[in-house]
Amino acid sequence: MDWTLEVVIVPVSDVDRAKAFYAERCGFRVDHDTVIGPGNRVVQLTPPGSGCSIVIGEGVVPPMPPGSLKGLQLVVADLPQARETLVAAGVDVSEIQLLGPDPGTGRPEDLDNIGFIHFTDPDGNAWAVQQISARGKD
C-alpha cells in the first residue's frame, strides 16, 4: 500500500497576502480558491512539479497560530537556480548553506543532499529548499 502526502495546512493571518506570496513570488500553481460561505475559504496551491499541495484559508482549516509551521522542505535539482528565481521574485532567501562536508570541487551536483537555502512566508512559516538533483526534476 502506498501512502502519499497530499496536503499540508499552512497557517496564515491574511489569505490574500499569503496566496499572492506563494503564487506570484514562489511560483506555486493555484489549484483552487473556494469560498464555501461567509468566513469559510480554502485556497490550495502546489509547488511546480510537486505531488503535495499546501492549503491556506479561514474557517474550514484547523486553527493554528499564523507563522507556527516550521520545517517545510522542498527539493530541487538546481539550488543556485532556485535561489536566483526566488531572489528575482523578491523573496528574502538565505545564501546557500552546506549541511555537511564541502567537497570543494565547485561542481553544482556536489550540492546534492548537503546544499540548502531557507526562506519564510509573510507570517513566518519557515521553508527549507534542498538540492537532490536525481529527485528534484520536473
Among candidate residues 32, 15, 31, 25, the one with its CA nearest the CA of residue 66? 15
The pLDDT, as a whole number, for residue 15 is 97
Structural contact between residues 13 and 123, judged by C-beta atoms closer than 8 angstroms: yes
Higher pLDDT, 85 or 3: 85
Among candidate residues 5, 55, 64, the one with its CA nearest the CA of residue 33? 55
Over the stretch 66-122, which tens digit does the pLDDT of each residue have?
A: 999 999 999 999 999 999 999 999 999 999 999 887 777 766 678 888 999 999 999
Angstrom distance (rounded) from CA 68 to CA 125 = 6
Say what the pTM is: 0.89
17: cell is: 497576502
The pLDDT, as a whole number, for residue 106 is 66
Count Cα neighbours of 65 within 13 Å in the Cβ-side half-sphere: 4
Over the stretch 20-36, which tens digit does the pLDDT of each residue have?
A: 999 999 999 999 999 99
Q: CB under 8 Å to 88, separation ≥6 — which residues?
A: none
The pLDDT, as a whole number, for residue 49 is 93
CA 101 to chain centre: 25
DSSP state, 93?
A: B
Higher pLDDT, 4 or 16: 16
The pLDDT, as a whole number, for residue 45 is 98
Over the stretch 33-66, which tens digit does the pLDDT of each residue have?
A: 999 999 999 999 999 999 999 999 999 888 899 9
The pLDDT, as a whole number, for residue 107 is 66
One-letter identity of residue 86: L
